[in-house]
Amino acid sequence: MRKLIAVFMAFAMFFAVTACSPAPTTGETGGDSNTVDVGIVLPTKDEPRWVQDETRFNEALANTDYSVEILFSQGSSAKEKENVDALIAKGIKVLIICPQDGGAAASAVEAARKEGIKVIAYDRLITGTDAVDYYVTFDSIAVGEAQAKYLVDQATGKDNPLYLYAGAASDNNAFLFFEGAWNVLQPKVADGTFVIKNSGEAVALQGNAKLTRDEMSKIIGQVTTNWDFNDAKNRAEANLTAAKAADKGDVFILAPNDGTARAIADAFAADTAVTSYKVTGQDAEKASVQYIIDGKQSMTVFKDVRTLVKDSIDMAVTLLGGKDPQTTGAYNNGKIDVKAKQTEVIVVKSENVKSALVDSGYYPASDFTNLK
């Protein structure tokens, strides 16, 4: 109990400290003996999104006394389980985990639950288990809706070619993003504004305003990028090879996130039968912000990772203090309703790159060229 109080005090001090010093290195522990109080497990360093999260955790955790360790699973659920086991062995009280695969992570968090550790799912929900205590997330349906709304707002006339791409089927968010996008795109396919060009499954279901999870699985199975740059590039190239010149021209592309958007955009830009393309994105990765400035990507959905990091740390602090954190809703994970704290997202286009991402202090202007 005394240790808990000490840890709580340390967290409280952290919030009282306003000055920032250089961020601690990942994996470094704080001043509190050999044990680790809070374990953080992130999916992979190979996607810039999760490196952003690591950076923001390190910034938020600089100058603190309590001990935190951040580990990466490098795209492997087996490595993720090893990471969680290692953190359990170090005595963590709270686990903040963004799963590589939402279903496969169940056994890792069940092992944590057995030790009395509180589990916070971070950004991606862990499914099919009751061993998740809380979920901190962005509004993922709103992400897909914002992407689709952008495409709808840009389209005039009828029969505009539409190419759909999705995230990894192992990530529950991929379904939420797609569901949001479908909510907005389906009526515009039904009224003839768009014609879907790269998914027979989506065409077969285009009369349905709402899709079941199984129906979404069928479409996502056909248009997944697996959140992978190369998969996205290969799929876009294969789609373009299969498409007739008449299916190209001025095209509209739903790309699920920034890494895949850049890969898909490059493939479409290289096709001489494509006269123009509009492509969506997500995460405000630096490389995509530059693409937006350069007119090579149309938009991104900015998820202010600082807020998610703060929410999850606040939650850990509250739990370490023996209290129940405040939540704003719940997400069903197939087994239970997981109490959740949800954050809004912001649409970024060339017009508001500076105000949303630079003036807000998220990125320094010096990270970009030709920023206006």
Q: Rule CB under 6 A: is residue 171 a binding residue for ligand GAL?
A: yes
| Closer residue to ligand GAL (CB): 88 or 264 | 264
Q: Rule CB under 6 A: is residue 325 a binding residue for ligand GAL?
A: no
Q: Which residues pair with 71 in a beta bridge?
A: 41
| Closer residue to ligand GAL (CB): 47 or 247 | 47
**Six-digit token pair at 169?**
């089927």
**Binding marks (x or -) toward ligand GAL, 272..311, rule CB under 6 A?**
----------xx-------------------x--------
Q: Say how far apart CA 168 and CA 121 lie, in whole Å.
A: 18
Task: Give the number of residues in contact with ligand GAL, rule: CB under 6 A.
Answer: 12
Q: Which of 173, 193, 225, 290 is in the footprint of ligand GAL by CB under 6 A?
A: 173
Element containing residue 175 per DSSP (H, E): helix 172-190
In eight-state DSSP terms, residue 343 is: E
Position with the least CB separation from ligand GAL: 49
| The dihedral sign for the CA sequence 285, 289, 290, 292 | positive
**Binding marks (x or -) toward ligand GAL, 225..254, rule CB under 6 A?**
--x---------------------------
Q: Rule CB under 6 A: is residue 167 a binding residue for ligand GAL?
A: yes
Stretch that binds ligand GAL, among 78-86, 167-175, 289-297, 359-367 (CB under 6 A): 167-175
Q: Do β-strands 94-97 and 300-302 pair in parallel, antiparallel, or remain unpaired?
A: unpaired
Q: Say how far apart CA 50 and CA 31 lie, in whole Å.
A: 26
Q: Say how far apart CA 320 and CA 333 lie, in whole Å.
A: 25
| Closer residue to ligand GAL (CB): 77 or 318 | 77
Q: Rule CB under 6 A: is residue 331 a binding residue for ligand GAL?
A: no
Beta-carbon contacts of 280 under 8 Å, excluding residues fewer than 6 positions away, are: 147, 148, 150, 151, 253, 254, 255, 256, 261, 298, 299, 300, 301
Q: Which residues pair with 166 in a beta bridge?
A: 224
| Closer residue to ligand GAL (CB): 100 or 206 | 100
Nearest-approach distance from CB 36 to ligand GAL, in angstroms: 25
Binding region for ligand GAL (CB under 6 A): 47, 49, 123-124, 167, 171, 173, 227, 257, 282-283, 303
